[in-house]
């Protein structure tokens, strides 16, 4: 039997996306977004939402370029801090001791300590309420070589990532391999 | 050191969203989408992408209402099948033995065996390439009472969910509790 709990953000899991931008003074900044994900396979694009009051919102509209870094569980505190503090009055990289690196293909910084970096150009901005939804076309993806196999492919099966559960506003670790996708075409017919 | 791997959908994790619709003949159908997530806090909205060739795309445009059910890991095979088969030539509920239930607040079916159901009305459709991005305002959320605590709140901390990793096209289990969110405001200053 199912019970109504009203309007709640009941998507489990949501990702922890670290949006990297340079602000109007050229300062590297990072903001955490859990409202986001892949939105198009071709052109390959990510969508993520940012409130209009955020320092990152201004930088995204001005520069039209950003990175999206994905942290491991070892950096959950830093990722949370990137979400609760503002680059308007803090230097989040200096505060946390993490390292901003200028991305090779876009004018935006990424977090050097995080294993996945997606370089993006903003292609559209959609008004969805208190947030603007940014559509960001993927330019390139960088992977820390610790997580690359010898044949030149990413091997992240055992990488300890984490996710956000917006129902209890908490972070959880990712777990073990379950099954290959696109493998059930003939299983139920 | 980071290595370029080109344009890849490198978001980990992505959710496994089961979009429930009635087609033009009134048949209950379900389609799996990994390109989606929360997109706005107010009005609370979910975004998800559906290719224009999909049977569900037609139903969404016609009915403008849907459910989003979230499965547990025990149903990973059924969830995968909902993604690789088409409601145009199959009855996916009949094939898998899962049960469609008419949602109380929208004209759309949900999957009875799945613990979370989000009832939605489509508020906008955005062309993002081969996919259309649907913006869906949340009308209500239903939780299976197995996962409700005695004080009437959802208690999903130990629920065995799963997610999709688009880099290796595989499913993984969710893991254990890591940390409360929004808890680091004063940690690094």
pLDDT tens digits along A3-53: 999 999 999 999 999 999 999 999 999 999 999 999 999 999 999 999 999
**Per-residue pLDDT reduced to its tens digit, B59-80:** 999 999 999 999 999 999 999 9
Quick check: A156 and B12 CB within 8 A? yes
In Å, the largest CA–CA distance within chain B is 60
What is the pLDDT at residue B63? 96
Q: Return the pLDDT at A152.
A: 86
Q: Which chain B residues touch A72 with a CB distance below 8 Å?
A: none
Q: Which among B137, B150, B33, B112 is positioned nearest to A9, based on CA atoms?
A: B137
> Between vectors from CA B70 to CA A164 and to CA B178, what angle results, nearest 5°?
25
Contact A40 B181 (CB under 8 A): no
CB pair distance less than 8 Å for A138 and B70? no
Q: What is the pLDDT of residue A84?
A: 97
The 10s digit of each residue's pLDDT in B140-150 is 999 999 999 98
pLDDT surpasses 80 at B189: no
Coil, helix or strand at residue A62: helix
Count Cα neighbours of A27 within 13 Å in the Cβ-side half-sphere.
15
CB B122 within 8 A of CB B135: yes
Cβ–Cβ below 8 Å for B172 and A170: no
Does pLDDT of A189 surpass 80?
no
Q: What is the pLDDT of residue B188?
A: 92
Instruction: Report chain B residues whose CB lies below 8 A from the CB of A187.
Output: 77, 81
CB contact under 8 A, B6 and A141: yes
The token pair that represents B61 in the structure block: 């445009």
Q: Residue B152 has what pLDDT?
A: 86
Option in A14, A44, A169 nearest B38 (CB): A14
Contacts of B90 in chain A (CB under 8 A): 189
Which of A178, A182, A186, A189 to mutate against chain B (most B CBs within 10 Å)? A178
Contacts of A5 (CB under 8 A, 6+ apart): B141, B142, B143, B153, B154
Asked if A183 lies within 8 A of B80 by C-beta distance, the reply is: yes
The chain B residue lying nearest A139, using CA atoms, is B7
B111 conformational bin, left if phi > 0, alpha if psi -120 to 50, beta if neither? beta
Kind and range of the H or E run holding B69: strand B65-70
CB B181 within 8 A of CB B22: no
pLDDT score recorded for residue A47: 98
ipTM of the complex: 0.96
Distance to chain B for A147, nearest Cα, Å: 9
Band of pLDDT at residue A106, cut at 50, 70 and 90: very high
pLDDT value at A66 more than 90: yes
> Is the CB of A156 less than 8 angstroms away from the CB of B165?
yes
Mutate to test the interface with B, among A4, A80, A128 (most CBs of B within 10 A): A128
What residue has token string 């940690």?
B187
Residue A49 to chain B, least CA–CA distance (Å):
6
Proportion of chain A above pLDDT 90, given as a percent? 97
- Residues B23-43 have a mean pLDDT of 97
What was the pLDDT predicted at B9?
98
Among A71, A67, A69, residue whose Cα is nearest residue A21? A67
Closest CA–CA distance from residue A165 to any residue of chain B (Å) = 9
Average pLDDT (B158-185) is: 97
Chain B CB contacts of A6 under 8 Å are: 140-141
Q: In this complex, which of A37, A78, A140 lies closest to B37 when CB atoms are compared?
A: A37
Separation of alpha carbons A107 and A51, rounded Å: 22
Residue A119 near residue A138, CB atoms below 8 Å: yes
Predicted pLDDT at A86: 96
């Amino acid at each position: 039997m199912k019970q109504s709990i009203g309007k709640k953000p009941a998507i489990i899991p949501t990702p922890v996306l670290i949006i990297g931008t340079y602000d109007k003074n050229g300062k590297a900044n990072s903001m955490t977004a859990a409202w986001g994900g892949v939105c198009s396979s071709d052109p390959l694009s990510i969508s993520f939402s940012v409130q209009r009051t955020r320092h990152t919102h201004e930088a995204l509209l001005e520069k039209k370029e950003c990175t999206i870094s994905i942290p491991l569980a070892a950096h959950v505190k830093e990722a949370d801090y990137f979400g609760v503090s503002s680059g308007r009055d803090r230097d989040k990289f200096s505060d946390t001791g993490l390292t901003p690196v200028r991305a090779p293909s876009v004018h935006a910084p990424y977090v050097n300590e995080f294993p996945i970096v997606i370089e993006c150009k903003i292609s559209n901005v959609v008004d969805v309420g208190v947030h603007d939804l940014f559509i960001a076309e993927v330019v390139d993806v960088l992977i820390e070589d610790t997580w690359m196999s010898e044949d030149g492919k990413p091997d992240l099966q055992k990488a300890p990532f984490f996710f956000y559960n917006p129902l209890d506003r908490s972070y959880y670790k990712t777990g073990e391999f379950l099954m290959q996708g696109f493998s059930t075409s003939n299983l139920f017919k």
